[in-house]
Structure 1
Amino acid sequence: MSDHFGGSGWRTVAALVWPYRRSLVVVAIFALLATGTDLLAPLIYREAVNDIAGLFVGTSAKNTDSPLDATTSEERESSPSPILAQKAVSKEIARAHSKDKPKGKAVREPHRRHYVAPRTADQTLTTLLWAVISLFAINVFSHLCSLVADQRTVELASRIEADFIHNTFSHVLSLPLRFFARRASGGLAKQIDQSDEIAPIVTAFAQEIAPAVITMAGVMIIMFLQSTRLSLVALVTLPPYAWIVLRSSKRLETGLARYYEMWDGVSARIQEAVGAIKTVKLSGAEQREAAHLLHQSRQAYDTYVERNRLANRYVFFQTSLGYLSQALVLGYGGWLVFQRGLTPGDVVMFVVYLERLYAPIESLTSLFVTLQEHFASLERATKLREVPGEEAHGDMPRPGPGRVEFRHVHFSYVPGREVLSDVSLVLEAGKRTALVGPSGAGKTTAADLLLKLFDLDSGEILMDGQTLSHLDAAAVRREFGVVAADGAIFRGSIADNLRYKRPEATDEEVHAAALAAGLTNTLARLPQGLATEIGEGGVGLSVGERQRLQIARALVGQPRVLILDEATANLDYATETEIRHALLGQSLRPTTLVITHRYTMAEICDHVIVLQAGRVIAQGAP
């Protein structure tokens, strides 16, 4: 059996729903009320059917009082005919009661286990009237309880889903950068968003498992109390029925998983072709892509059709066993009625209860398999929350001018392969320092260490005399502004993007930063200025405008230290010149680290440090 039912899956779900246990209990109570009242209906059917049968028994008893009926009570009771015996019993009980009853008033005696009491037409009509009223009331009450349980389940599942995504996403954001370097962003996003697995689990626990168990237990108790023999006959098909349902659920879930997997391939193919539509057209591959998609989609649909064929086969066997059980109950139950072992109402009650017995069995066996799938998906997300996050504690940085010092820093991503080796350097406060060198020299790694994205192997980094390793990571990062060649620009207004690091910035501060970054002409050509909406990745802006927007965003954050990490690597000379002028024209002079390959960017700096193979090999004026 799956490990998800061996303890870990249950522990995961228990931890998930425990904070909401009170709401879960309320849902379970309403679900049980709906189930419990529904079990009363067959008992009402029994009384109604027995009263109808009693109407005919009463008529037969009266007929036996005629002079033509010369048999004595003893003869009828000894008669081999159960029908004559029933008539005799009915007649003599009626005579016994008639001695004490007032004239003109019919006595209503109860039905017994092996005896249907006689009924008058008025008594039968009264019973039917109360049966109709009772069934209507029970069904309405049961339905109302189900509606309340459904609504509460939706509300509860929504709360759990929202909190689950929030907590998981918050934890993932707290993970070190090293964790993200080993995972694809698309797969990680899918792993986080497993909220759609929660609703079926909550529904199963609150509305399906407990009510199904209560229904099965209640039905079997009532059936065995009425007739052990008929109950055993009714349950003879139960083991093969449960086996078929369990086997079919497993095989059908496997087939469905295969279909979804194949359909994911179809969706991926569509996304790839549409995303690279220009390449597809220039390669003349339209027909080839369409043919390939047709082949994939047909394979997926063939899998689904085969699964449906298998489902129909199992449904046939399940339905046949259900019909067989009903036939056995009707046949053997009818024989027991004939032998005075049961009343007709008991047999009708058994048939109705059979339907209520097999439905929860099918539900539970199917649920057992589907919950495994939900547990497996949910545990993928919960495992993310088990990954240790960054250390959230530490001292707060003291105010200072922004002097940074590396002292004998060593760092490696993989043990034994150092990226930085004995690096010592100083970024003077308020000065521009260029860090240059070939690709792979460790320039960006040095900046990442400064931002506390990774931990040092040895050595220390200080900011205004404080050791970074002793400071709170989030507080340290608030002191820095970063502009990268591939920096993110989010969907929304330009002003929203500029305020991303410092949402409380005033309109005046945002406008001043935009002007300092050289966005004057950009804002002039846009009809709504800073309120202009831009697409994801800065759609609607040129490459240079995107870089200037990043610089403005960094300036809005009022950084103590500004890091330009290859900020002009993808720009042409004219655009780079505009960026340089924007940097030189700043009224505020934060400590600036310029990581670059280009001499033109290094020449605007006050100091240049050359890094090669993870070591500082030269430094001085540009």
Structure 2
Amino acid sequence: MESNLINKDEEVIRRSKTEIVLKLLEYLKPYKLKSFIVILLMIIVMICGIINPLLLEIAIDNYVVNKNVEGLMIIGAALVIINLIAWILSKIRWTMITSVTNNILVNIRHQLYSHIQTLSFDFFDSRPVGKILARVVGDVNALKNLFSQSIQSFIPQLLNLVCVAVIMFILNFKLALACTILLPILGIAMFYIEIHSRRRWEVYRNKRSNLNGFTHEDFSGIKVVQGFAREKETEKNFKAMVKELGDAFIKAVKLNDFFWPLVELSWGAGTLVVFFVGYKLITNNEIKIGTLIAFLMYVGMFWRPIMNLSNFYNTLITNFSAADRIFDILDVKPVIKNSKNAKNIGKIHGTVEFKNVSFSYDDNTEVLKNVSFKVNKGERIALVGPTGAGKSTIISLLSRFYDPTSGEILIDGKNIKYVDLESLRSQMGIMLQDTFLFSTTIMENIRYGRLDASDEEVIAAAKAVNAHDFIMKLEKGYHTEVNERGSRLSLGQRQLVSFARALLANPRILILDEATSNIDTETEKLVQSGIEKLLYSRTSFVVAHRLSTIRDCDKIMVIDNGRIAELGNHDELIRKKGIYYDLYMTQYKFLNE
């Protein structure tokens, strides 16, 4: 799917009705037995309903006319028992339908969530998070009525319609023909509505997704909004998007509202036709009054399932767009995934090699150009260079967030393209400039590095990177809630927590991508010894603009315009008086000033 902005409608593949229905029915397979029981109960209830008019016909034509009180009592008792059974079975049916529907929605949401977690970064790069949330929450919820009605309406109501129609034609062919004469006109009208209605619901769901994306982005950046006093502007945009959503909904609902009047109009007209034909038949002594009354009851029983089926069809049309949006994501294949014969990489020792690696995010611009280098076990490598030179791309390729356009990346001599992703990434520690903390305690945020770690191990990791002292000064120490994205802590404190998390994970390859850029000078002094312990005996890649932090690295690679422009340690590169020398002297001069 193409990249989407907040206010741009998403381009979703429209699937055929048959394809969507077949895909949705797949989710009913685990509940085949329950669905069968529900349908069976509905058939029994349906039969109970069909028997009612027949018993009434017998009561009128045989017992009322002959004043047979005993026979009427028996018929009355039979009606009470039959309807009581139908009521009890209906209650059981509704309980089972609710259970099945909720379980299916849970399964779809779990499947969607699990699938999204497997998708590559390009999927998230091209979509606002709010639009993804709209599909996981809102679009899945939209399927609830679809599943409940598919179980309770489609098959049972179709059977009910067929059975009633057969009985009507058995009772009297002319009356049955009169009742069904308007069905073709109704079918044509509904088909016309469906063509235009589905498109309108697609527009509505796109507008709702846009609003969701805008709201999520606005609240995530609320500090920027308030910092620049842009509340009025964002409120104006919000109102405009809400209006678009409301207009799209009203436009869709207006067309859908024609379903019910059409069916009711056909029902009423059909009943009038039956009355007229029935009157003629009675005056000609072709039928008895009891037969007409019974038939009129069957007219209601004939049109009621048509009404329910129309409602189901209406629900289908309303939610086809939601199903399309869900399957649109489920059909996205992760670009980065395990190869067919992927093997566990085993314990990583830490030798890393790039062989003629080139990479581009699109077909136009090459970010890396034929990059080759080798890093031995335990070495510390610094990547420096101007913004956009390709430093972070090298890190992303090493972590296999992307695959190179050409060339190979080897760890311990194994091409990472053919190893199990989890076995690779579980032994790598990645620390980014924008440290992400979860909305939980400091203890749990550090423990995220190794979920089975004890409290003592968590505290030991925090002490090692000099985070323990500031944590203990907080109101609840390690049990302090850090709020969303760690907003309760300073930038430097978040970095210290992330250092502890990485140390606890004990990665074999460690990546620090501008990880110390947000730490002030005072905090940097505290954490420097912790970083030394973090880097000890691990192959480490350090991306840094602050060159003073990488002087002790074994190798420094200067990346410029997608290539390795210079390679050596600090002293060697200073003596060369090339790009690194210029960068270093510029920073040195700036700091002195």
Q: Deviations over 1:105-130 (max 9, x none)?
A: xxxxxxxxxxxxxx13xx2x333323
> Which among 278, 298, 301 is matched to residue 353 of structure 1?
298
Q: Is it true that 1:414 corresponds to 2:425 in the alignment?
A: no
In the aligned structure 2, how far is the partner of 1:342 from the partner of 1:245? 35
Paired residue for 1:495? Answer: 443
In the aligned structure 2, how far is the partner of 1:207 from the partner of 1:152? 10
Paired residue for 2:288? Answer: 343
> Which among 442, 463, 487 is matched to residue 411 of structure 2?
463
Q: How far did 1:240 drift?
A: 3.6
Q: Deviations over 1:26-73 (max 9, x none)?
A: 22222222222211111122122224651xxxxxxxxxxxxxxxxxxx
Query: In the TM superposition, what are the counterparts of 1:187-226 in structure 2 within 5 Å?
Result: 187-193=131-137, 194-226=139-171
Contact between 1:4 and 1:10, CA under 8 Å: does it hold in 2?
A: no
In the aligned structure 1, how far is the partner of 2:347 from the partner of 2:248? 66
Paired residue for 1:141? Answer: 85
Q: Is it true that 1:377 corresponds to 2:325 in the alignment?
A: no
Amino acid at match of 2:100: L
Contact between 1:566 and 1:595, CA under 8 Å: does it hold in 2?
A: yes
Q: How far did 1:248 drift?
A: 5.6
Please give the secondary structure, in 2, of the residue aligned with 1:402.
coil
In the aligned structure 2, how far is the partner of 1:340 from the partner of 1:442? 95
Paired residue for 1:37? Answer: 48
In the aligned structure 2, how far is the partner of 1:313 from the partner of 1:427? 70
Paired residue for 2:584? Answer: none
Contact between 2:355 and 2:409, CA under 8 Å: does it hold in 1?
A: yes
Structure whose alpha-carbon radius of gyration is higher: 1
> Which among 158, 178, 181 is matched to residue 102 of structure 2?
158
Paired residue for 2:177? Answer: 232
Q: How far did 1:469 drift?
A: 3.2
Q: How far did 1:403 drift?
A: 2.9
Q: Deviations over 1:257-282 (max 9, x none)?
A: 66666677777777777677777778
Give the structure-2-normalised TM-score: 0.82
Query: In the TM superposition, what are the counterparts of 1:357-436 in structure 2 within 5 Å?
Result: 357-389=302-334, 390-391=337-338, 393-399=341-347, 401-415=349-363, 417-436=365-384
Give the structure-1-normalised TM-score: 0.79
Q: Deviations over 1:487-526 (max 9, x none)?
A: 3211112222222242112222211111122211222112
Contact between 2:559 and 2:566, CA under 8 Å: does it hold in 1?
A: yes
Q: 1:317 to 1:200 in 2, by over 3 A?
A: closer
Q: Is it true that 1:172 corresponds to 2:172 in the alignment?
A: no
Paired residue for 1:482? Answer: 430
Please give the secondary structure, in 2, of the residue aligned with 1:44.
helix
In the aligned structure 1, how far is the partner of 2:36 from the partner of 2:344? 45
In the aligned structure 2, how far is the partner of 1:455 from the partner of 1:466? 15
Instruction: Compare 238-247 and 164-173 and name the one that shifted more.
Output: 238-247
Paired residue for 2:544? Answer: 596
In the aligned structure 1, how far is the partner of 2:119 from the partner of 2:210? 31
Q: How far did 1:604 drift?
A: 4.1
Q: Is it true that 1:23 corresponds to 2:34 in the alignment?
A: yes
> Which among 478, 494, 498 is matched to residue 530 of structure 1?
478
Contact between 2:130 and 2:212, CA under 8 Å: does it hold in 1?
A: no
Amino acid at match of 1:184: P
> Which among 546, 555, 574 is matched to residue 522 of structure 2?
574
Instruction: Compare 18-27 and 281-290 and name the one that shifted more.
Output: 281-290
Please give the secondary structure, in 2, of the residue aligned with 1:414.
coil
Contact between 1:409 and 1:459, CA under 8 Å: does it hold in 2?
A: yes
Q: Is it true that 1:9 corresponds to 2:20 in the alignment?
A: yes
Amino acid at match of 2:29: W
Please give the secondary structure, in 2, of the residue aligned with 1:564.
strand
Please give the secondary structure, in 2, of the residue aligned with 1:474.
helix
Paired residue for 1:50? Answer: 61
Q: How far did 1:559 drift?
A: 0.6
Q: Percent identity between the aligned chains?
A: 26
Contact between 1:411 and 1:419, CA under 8 Å: does it hold in 2?
A: yes
Amino acid at match of 2:338: E
Instruction: Compare 310-319 and 505-514 and name the one that shifted more.
Output: 310-319
> Which among 472, 492, 496 is matched to residue 420 of structure 2?
472
Q: Deviations over 1:451-489 (max 9, x none)?
A: 122223343333334343342221111111110012321
Contact between 1:462 and 1:468, CA under 8 Å: does it hold in 2?
A: yes
Q: How far did 1:19 drift?
A: 3.9
Contact between 2:97 and 2:151, CA under 8 Å: does it hold in 1?
A: yes
Q: Is it true that 1:442 corresponds to 2:390 in the alignment?
A: yes
Please give the secondary structure, in 1, of the residue aligned with 2:402.
coil
Q: 1:587 to 1:299 in 2, by over 3 A?
A: closer
Q: Deviations over 1:424-471 (max 9, x none)?
A: 333343343211111111111111121122223343333334343342
Please give the secondary structure, in 2, of the residue aligned with 1:7.
helix
Q: How far did 1:255 drift?
A: 6.4
In the aligned structure 2, how far is the partner of 1:33 from the partner of 1:380? 37
Q: Is it true that 1:128 corresponds to 2:72 in the alignment?
A: yes
Q: Deviations over 1:258-315 (max 9, x none)?
A: 6666677777777777677777778777778777767776776677778777777775
In the aligned structure 1, how far is the partner of 2:74 from the partner of 2:312? 38
Please give the secondary structure, in 2, of the residue aligned with 1:540.
coil
In the aligned structure 2, how far is the partner of 1:621 from the partner of 1:227? 100
Contact between 2:495 and 2:519, CA under 8 Å: does it hold in 1?
A: no
Q: How far did 1:340 drift?
A: 2.5
Amino acid at match of 1:484: L
Contact between 2:384 and 2:544, CA under 8 Å: does it hold in 1?
A: yes
Paired residue for 1:109? Answer: none
Instruction: Compare 351-360 and 496-505 and name the one that shifted more.
Output: 496-505
Structure 1 stretches lacking a partner, 5+ long: 55-118
Amino acid at match of 1:208: S
Structure 2 stretches lacking a partner, 5+ long: 1-12, 571-593
Q: 1:264 to 1:495 in 2, by over 3 A?
A: same
Q: 1:538 to 1:284 in 2, by over 3 A?
A: closer
Q: How far did 1:144 drift?
A: 2.4
In the aligned structure 2, how far is the partner of 1:307 from the partner of 1:404? 57
Cα RMSD after superposing both structures: 3.4
Q: Deviations over 1:395-446 (max 9, x none)?
A: 3234354232333333333346432223233334334321111111111111
> Which among 258, 270, 275 is matched to residue 330 of structure 1?
275
Contact between 1:4 and 1:376, CA under 8 Å: does it hold in 2?
A: no
Contact between 1:31 and 1:207, CA under 8 Å: does it hold in 2?
A: yes
Instruction: Compare 456-465 and 306-315 and name the one that shifted more.
Output: 306-315
Please give the secondary structure, in 1, of the residue aligned with 2:366.
strand
Q: 1:132 to 1:286 in 2, by over 3 A?
A: farther
Q: 1:243 to 1:131 in 2, by over 3 A?
A: farther
In the aligned structure 1, how far is the partner of 2:545 from the partner of 2:168? 86
In the aligned structure 2, how far is the partner of 1:508 from the partner of 1:34? 63
